[in-house]
Amino acid sequence: MNSKPPEPSTEAILEYFPGEYHVVRPGGFVTCAVTSKKVSLSALRYWSAELQEAYASSAIATQRYQDWKDDKVKTPGGAS
């Protein structure tokens, strides 16, 4: 049985790991967790394995990490 390639208009579901990701559900893009911008899988370079989020750029990823780190420090017990 031939499987057809994922539709570029379908959002992929990924599981993020340090330095790599695994495709849970094929698709053509993921959505940036901060800007809601569609990021094609071929252009995806920035994500957080800890937060399981994708980002459209390094600047967005860096800012999101800093905000998350700051929130974690402010939260009693450092809950995430």
Give the tens place of pLDDT for each residue, 20-57.
999 999 999 999 999 999 999 999 999 999 999 999 99
In a domain, 38, yes or no: yes
**Which pLDDT does position 73 carry in this prediction?**
83
- H helical segments located in the chain: 58-74
In a domain, 8, yes or no: no
In a domain, 44, yes or no: yes
Number of structural domains found in the chain = 1
pLDDT over threshold 60, residue 2: no
In a domain, 69, yes or no: yes
In a domain, 60, yes or no: yes
In a domain, 7, yes or no: no
Banded pLDDT at 75 (limits 50, 70, 90): confident
Banded pLDDT at 78 (limits 50, 70, 90): low
Local structure of residue 32 (DSSP, 8 states): B
Residue numbers of the domain that contains 22: 13-74
35: its two tokens: 């800007």
12-23 burial string, b = 16+ CB within 10 Å, else e? Answer: bebebeeeebee
Average pLDDT taken over every residue of the chain: 90
| pTM given for the model | 0.81
